[in-house]
A and B are shown apart, each in its own frame.
Chain A
Amino acid sequence: MKKLFGLILFMGLGVLIILALNNTISFPKFGSVDLSDRVADAYLDNDNVSEVGSANIVTAIVVGYRGFDTLGEVTVLFISALGVAFLFSFKKEKRLDLKFKPNFMLKHGSKLLFGIMLVVSLYIITHGHLTPGGGFPGGAIIASGVLLLYLADDKFRSNIKGFKVLEGVAGSLFVIIGLLGLILATSFLENFIASGTVGQLLSAGIIPIIYVLIGLKVGSEIASVVDNFLTEEESA
């Protein structure tokens, strides 16, 4: 009874939100957005695109125009991974026993699959400025490959210290490239390499370099979170 009353109350709230959003001037009707009075019009301008050099406008915004935001976002992810590692730190730890004996086919087929996933993720990361994708999904695919290895082998432990080092190196290189922009050009994270023609692999200045670093950082962070979730305290 209480649940039904709550459901009706919250549905009423949703209807009120819909009614409030429907009749305002500042909120456009769904499906008929005019970009000419928005800030995205400047991003889609032809001169700006040839200046930035990235064919994927979303990548241009994430890394190029709002690179400082992305630095903060990666820091948030780093802090949450740190919190997870803090909560799961035991004196003596061991791998979580899944009570599953992998057979020959699973053990060796999953290694083959891991290779293919690594190649696909590298493709997605390095083509982030040309096709959909980029550092965030590519790093997540690397982490799912590591997760596959964990699930396929009940004794597998990845080199967690190596992940920590990789994450730190990628994060510091991100900041160092930003500082180079401050020295060689005028402001933090500014593009100081000449952006070639739009649509080629070696174009868009520092955008591919930063996206590769973001991919490595996100992948190693999520992989270390997965490793933390698969450890438990040794009860012996």
Chain B
Amino acid sequence: MLWFDIISGIVGGLMLILAFLAINSKKLINSVLLLSGLSMLAVVAFVMLKAPDVAITEAVIGSGLVTSLFVFTLLSTRKEAKK
């Protein structure tokens, strides 16, 4: 019980730090990648809360698909700015 609180405190604190950095970072791509790291930590939190179904779904969607959609949007607009 004590170990659970310690590890969940570490995971929660890291998540808060990553969220703050993602909101306040200057470059958009850094913000998107920090969001990807945040959702990987959320997977750890879901596994600790005994929710394996949700953890699998979040691992596939949060760190893979959503990040790639953000990156595609940034890529397609970057080239228009160059022209």
Contacts and interface: CB of A to CB of B under 8 A. Distances in A.
Q: Do chains A and B touch in the complex (CB under 8 A)?
A: yes
Given A143-B65, A144-B65, A222-B65, A132 B52 contact: yes
Contacts of B53: 56, 58-59, 132-134, 137
Given A147-B68, A229-B73, 12 more contacts: A56-B53, A133-B56, A137-B60, A140-B61, A141-B60, A143-B65, A144-B60, A147-B64, A147-B65, A226-B65, A229-B72, A232-B76
A136 interface: yes
Interface in B59-79: 60-61, 64-65, 68-69, 72-73, 75-76, 79
A20 B53 CA distance: 30
A96 interface: yes
A56, A141, A226: which has the most chain B beta carbons within 10 Å?
A141
Contacts of A232: 76
A226 B72 CA distance: 9
B69 A229 contact: yes
A133 to B, nearest CB: 5
A96 B79 CA distance: 10
- For chain B, what secondary structure do more than half of its interface residues adopt (helix, strand, loop), or is it mixed? helix
A3 B24 CA distance: 10
Interface residues of B, number: 18
Contacts of B24: 3
Given A96-B76, A98-B75, A229-B73, A136 B68 contact: no
A175 interface: no
Interface size class of A (residues with CB under 8 A): 20 to 34
Nearest to B69: A229
A226 B66 CA distance: 10
Interface of A: 3, 31, 56, 58-59, 96-98, 124, 132-134, 136-137, 140-141, 143-144, 147, 222, 225-226, 229-230, 232
Contacts of A31: 1
Interface in B33-83: 52-53, 55-57, 60-61, 64-65, 68-69, 72-73, 75-76, 79
A216 to B, nearest CB: 16
Contact of B57 (A136, A143, A144): A136
Contacts of A230: 72
A229 to B, nearest CB: 5
Interface of B: 1, 24, 52-53, 55-57, 60-61, 64-65, 68-69, 72-73, 75-76, 79
A151 B82 CA distance: 22
Nearest to B58: A137
Given A140-B65, A144-B65, A96 B56 contact: no
